[in-house]
Structure 1
Amino acid sequence: MADRLLTGDVAPDFTLKDSSGKDINLASGHGGSTIVYFYPAAATPGCTKQACDFRDSLASFTSAGYRVLGVSPDSVAKLAAFAANEDLSFPLLSDEDHAVAEAYGAWGEKKNYGRTYEGLIRSTVVIDAAGKVALAQYNVRATGHVAKLRRDLKVDA
């Protein structure tokens, strides 16, 4: 597992395909801050709840100068179906080889029902306009995370 990112670290740049197959690059195309959230699997109950919470808060984040990028190890096709089914209007990015998750410290050992395995650790990293980590949260809960993030970032509803 890669080291977790800390406030002030330079955020690793990346380019990943979104749910439409378009390349999205972290460093280009946006002058403000970026919220990158890592989630284990599209269309599962917790990940759907979290994605819909981001969708429902997107206008607040956008007006405060943030863009939101969701990253999972799902295929582009699965992300496209998830985005369409849940009316998600922010980019969902495919990290099938989990290289970006590893670079962000969001891939590692997990335990579930007594079983230990490697997988995606639900995490959120906020990157400022200069490309530095402003906030890094690991092992977050799907339910309530977006509301807590809004409070932490002082983003109004």
Structure 2
Amino acid sequence: MTERLVPGDPAPAFNLPNADGGTTSLADFAGQKVVLFFYPAAMTPGCTKQACDFRDSLASLQGGGYKVLGISPDPVSKLEKFKARDELNYPLLSDSDHSVALAYAAWGEKKNYGKTYEGLIRSTIVLDESGSVEVAQYNVRATGHVAKLRRDLKIDAA
């Protein structure tokens, strides 16, 4: 597993297919603050809750100057359905080979019901305008995480 990112680390570059039929690159957001949230699987209860929390908080996050990007290992076709079904108003990116999750230390060993396996670690990485890590949160909870993130970033609810 890649060593976890810490504030001040440079953000690893990426270029991923998105649910809108194009590609999204970190370079597209040069000079902007970005919230990257990694989630295990679209259309599952926890991931839906988290994605909808970001949707519902998007205005306040944007008011704080942040762009939001959701990243999962799901194929683009599943992300398209997820985005439409839940009216998600920010880009969803497909990291099907886990390369970006690995670069951000959001892919690694997990334990569930006594079994150990490799998988996506629910994580949120906040980048500043210079492309450096501002906040790195790993093993975050699906429920309540966005409200905590807004508090940590000192962003009021919209």
RMSD in angstroms over aligned alpha carbons? 0.8
Cα offset for 1:30? Answer: 5.0
Query: What does 1:100-111 correspond to in 2, within 5 Å?
Result: 100-111=100-111
1:57-116 CA-partner distances (Å, limit 9, x unpaired): 000011111000000000000000000000001000000000000000000000001111
1:18 equivalent to 2:18? Answer: yes
Check conservation: 1:27, 1:131, Cα contact below 8 A: no
Check conservation: 2:33, 2:128, Cα contact below 8 A: yes
Check conservation: 1:18, 1:24, Cα contact below 8 A: yes
Check conservation: 1:17, 1:93, Cα contact below 8 A: yes
Partners of 2:130 and 2:21 lie apart in 1 by 27
Check conservation: 1:34, 1:67, Cα contact below 8 A: yes
Q: How many residues align?
A: 157
Which residue number corresponds to residue 83 of structure 1?
83
Which residue number corresponds to residue 123 of structure 1?
123
Q: TM-score, normalised by structure 1?
A: 0.98
1:33-77 CA-partner distances (Å, limit 9, x unpaired): 000000000000000000000000000011111000000000000
Which residue number corresponds to residue 141 of structure 1?
141
Check conservation: 1:55, 1:90, Cα contact below 8 A: yes
Cα offset for 1:20? Answer: 1.7
- Give structure 1 regions of 4+ aligned residues with deviation exceeding 6 angstroms: none
Unaligned runs of 5+ in 1: none
Which residue number corresponds to residue 96 of structure 1?
96
Partners of 1:76 and 1:122 lie apart in 2 by 19
Which residue number corresponds to residue 36 of structure 2?
36
Cα offset for 1:27? Answer: 2.0
Partners of 1:71 and 1:29 lie apart in 2 by 15
Unaligned runs of 5+ in 2: none
Which residue number corresponds to residue 53 of structure 2?
53
Partners of 1:66 and 1:103 lie apart in 2 by 21
Cα offset for 1:31? Answer: 3.2
Partners of 2:11 and 2:143 lie apart in 1 by 26
Cα offset for 1:4? Answer: 0.7
